[in-house]
Chain A
Amino acid sequence: MTERMLALSVNGREQRVLTTDHRTLLELLREDLRLTGTKHGCELGECGACTVLVDGTPVLSCLTLARSAGGREVRTVEGLETRGVPHPLQDAFARLGAAQCGYCTPGMLMAACALLESVPAPSADEIREALSGNLCRCTGYQKILDAVHLAARSRG
């Protein structure tokens, strides 16, 4: 197994990681960089818990080879805050009870973040569609829907 140096940006910080070609972005984030905010529920691309943004696009980090993120900008839940101020989505998820066990929350937040960046005022159907690849077993999705709406409004 040859190891190669991989350079990428994670949450605005340049990172150089010695890694193997078959390593996934999920493994790189959680195990090499210890950014454990990103979760996993299946490692087969079925649950959406590992969603992160690569150059602003939501990807399933469990199905993404780390090397394919080389030279690109990766954003995880740890990078959602701006100088200690929570992202409107984080604030809305907390206030409206959109997280129960909280395990799907980081992936849900990242998918919602990508949505709001392309569609600032999404309809309920647009939210449902954008988050339909993220499973949640606790909430029944209703409070997540409410929270994304609230975040969109508060971003104005």
Chain B
Amino acid sequence: MTVPGFSYVGSSRPRVDAGAQVSGRTVFADDIWLPGMLVGRQLRSPHGHARIRRIDTARARALEGVEAVITGADLPITYGILPVSQDEHALAVERVRYVGEPVVAVAAVDAETAARALELIEVEYEPIEETVSLEEAATDRVLIHGEGVGKNVHRSVALEFGDVARGFAEADHIREDLYDFRGSTHAALEQHAAVASCGADGRLTVWSSTQVPHYLHRTLEKVLELPAGRIRVVATPVGGGFGGKTDPFSHEIVAARLSMETGRPVKITLSREEVFYSHRGRHPVLMWVRTGFRRDGTITAMHFRTHLDGGAFGSYGLATLYYTGALQPSTYRIPNYKFEGVRVFTNKPPCGPKRGHGTPQPRFGLECQLDAAAADLGIDPVTIRLRNLVKPFSTTVNYLRITSCGLRECIEQVAAASGFREKHGRLPPGRGVGLAVGAYLSGAGLPIYWNDMPQSEVTIKVDRGGGVTVFSMAADVGQGSTSVLATIVGEVLGLDPSTLVMVTADTDLTPVDLGSYSSRVTFMAGNAALEAAQRIRDTVVEAVAAELGTTGDMLVVAEGRVGVEGAPEKSMSWPDAVRAAIARSGPLAASGSYRAPDLAGPYKGSGVGISPAYSFSAAVVEVECDAETGQVHVERVWLAHDVGRALNRLLVEGQIEGGIYMGLGEALMEEQAFRGALHRGPSLLDYKMPTFLDMPPVESILVETVDPEGPFGAKEVGQGPLLPVIPAVANAIHDALGVRIDEVPITPDKVVRAMRDLAKGGSGRVGPDSPPEFDFGRLIRVEVPEGFAS
């Protein structure tokens, strides 16, 4: 089924790599075997915080079959994904800061020899005081980074837009609530893997399951002190990312170093336990939210405080911190807004970006509080949201530029499809429905390192037979980015997308794309592909117009032909048209690029949250709860998503369904939990996630607002749909049982506790009490945007 006006855009089409996937022919990083390849393994810290007194590798080195042993002394240069957080060593130097931190690495002829070598390495540690919680980080302890004693604060932020004191003074009703999001991990099914090969010419190639080949390339250049041109990074098809393969990782650098040392290829595949230690998952965030409302539910002011437990290193944490305050105003008009946040270091695996990056936590708090406020004011959950909606083509109080916005349609459609208004407050005891909304970026407005070059570049080359090859560094992490780019190019050139050759994610072959994070690929690489394809088309059309004695504006490029519509004699086949173009203007190749417009607001920190476009979602979740056991059974989920335009309906639905799945897992069971500094269960058995049996039927509704700047109007879908699911579950449980679980995950024990409290005449709330005291630093006051008040 095609969409009017398009040949391929908008229809449901299989992925271009589906055939390889279902036949087992997709080559993931761990599937690579090279001649003479060695197996690399890392010895990891058993301590949460310790000084390294001594490392003795002599016995490991003496073991037959061991080809190299390296320590932190071999990789002294620090790195980190953000230029301001260059705080990691590939192998620990002098100190370990979390259980599972890599300390020594070996390369051996096989896995068994490598494992024996690790057993022969002696590391003498001197344990030092650990910091494992927000509360501990707020008191004077041994500093995790730096010498001496103090509070383990990584960074703080305090911003005020407008005048919240005035806003609260105008309020008829003020709510103050605390919420806790305990944090989770990605648990992509593919364990991280990297193969490095340093050739006889001294060039290094690294194949890795990474979402960000360009940033890995830069990291290797820095840490290994090699010119960029001596390094090739290839992102192999990624077996699930969700943000978990978006940092440069120790094992990638170590594999490269071991290959340089031995002159042989080295493969390192993390065990599942090691994946849990590599983490970079969802930050635990404790939130304090104060919001003022008028009697009709209109928001007058919001004061939002977030406290992030960041783990042992910076990672993306500075960006995450700002994200916990950035997108609240993207769905609702908040006339006066104050955001204070702090991220602390603890002796746990570093947190980073997971699907929604720093925004699902505040979204949970915001949407739960809005539901509670609606109940206080006697307004229904739909009305209070519609009353505060952000307007299309407007600017938020914190200077986010909103373009197309179908949030109203999303709410109305999801409410109608689910029968929300008829069900809310009216279902039998134990059953309930919950509503929530969300918004997400279609790509971060700024690159991670400051530069004024394009964020996405795409090159297209056409051979003399008409064959089209598309070159892009965007990494397919399962989201289908390669298929999306093929659809865009195929649409412009009138060629079936499945016939295009897609060369992706290879720093030797493809022009730069910053990577598969922040839901940026469809919008940014898509626009670059669109521009490149249009340039190819223009060249071909010009040549054909000359051949046929007509003008370019008379010609249509579709279905493998270029010619005058409805006049077959006045047309050429695509291969003939291409040959005419090459004869006329030489080799047929073109590049396109995309750089987001300058969207930053007039304040420090405004770089986080800006995006050329935002997706919007609304979800309704229906649950059946067992008041005795606390079990929550999700009956059905309805989710409407404003995707701008669906370039491939099948892939869009897949992202929505996957986002709902991951949201339900986080709402009800997933938690990266620790006992002290020790992970409670670094395995897929102990880390609970939904199975086939836990997944309810879902109904996806696509809202297409056709964004003026998106490729064919498209916006993101990879992350946004997760956001409303978690608070919608919490709101549904409240509707079912009358209890408020203000802490995620909502496990049965919490529901039971809340029910007992309710039975004893309590409020039926389970959630955090007062947060520890932090100094958020100097408050930056920002004037509201011009014309905002009107």
Contact = CB atoms under 8 A, between A and B. Distances in A.
B189 A136 contact: yes
Interface residues of B, number: 56
Given A41-B189, A99-B15, A100-B479, A138 B22 contact: no
A96 B12 CA distance: 9
| B21, B478, B653 — most chain A CB neighbours (10 Å) | B21
**Dominant SS at the B interface?**
loop
Contacts of B190: 39, 41, 101, 103
Contacts of B272: 41-44, 46
Contacts of B653: 97, 143
A102 B26 contact: yes
A83 interface: no
A32 to B, nearest CB: 11
A142 B636 CA distance: 12
Interface stretch (A2-10, A63-71, A125-133): A125-133
A101 B18 CA distance: 10
B654 interface: yes
Nearest to B655: A100
B654 A37 contact: no
B260 to A, nearest CB: 25
B189 A101 contact: yes
B657 A143 contact: yes
B19 interface: yes
| A37, A96, A103 — most chain B CB neighbours (10 Å) | A103
Given A42-B683, A77-B24, A103-B190, A97 B698 contact: no
A106 B14 CA distance: 17
A138 B658 contact: yes
A141 B27 contact: no
B19 A94 contact: yes
A81 B242 CA distance: 31
B237 interface: yes
Contacts of B18: 93-95, 97, 99
B240 A37 contact: no
Interface stretch (B291-299, B345-353, B685-693, B747-755): B685-693
Nearest to A81: B23
A36 B19 contact: no
Interface in B1-56: 12, 14-15, 17-28, 30-31, 33
Contacts of B33: 34
B209 to A, nearest CB: 10
Contacts of B654: 97, 100, 138-139, 143
Interface in A109-156: 109, 127-129, 131-145
The 7 closest A-B pairs by CB, nearest first: A37-B24, A101-B478, A140-B661, A103-B239, A102-B21, A77-B24, A94-B18
Given A102-B237, A140-B660, 8 more contacts: A78-B23, A97-B15, A99-B22, A100-B478, A101-B237, A105-B22, A136-B189, A140-B659
29 contacts: A30-B31, A36-B24, A37-B24, A39-B190, A40-B191, A41-B272, A41-B684, A44-B684, A46-B684, A46-B685, A78-B24, A91-B22, A93-B21, A94-B21, A95-B18, A97-B651, A100-B240, A102-B17, A102-B26, A102-B237, A103-B28, A103-B189, A134-B692, A136-B189, A137-B188, A138-B658, A140-B661, A140-B662, A141-B661
Interface of A: 30, 34-44, 46-47, 49, 76-78, 80-81, 86, 89-91, 93-97, 99-106, 109, 127-129, 131-145
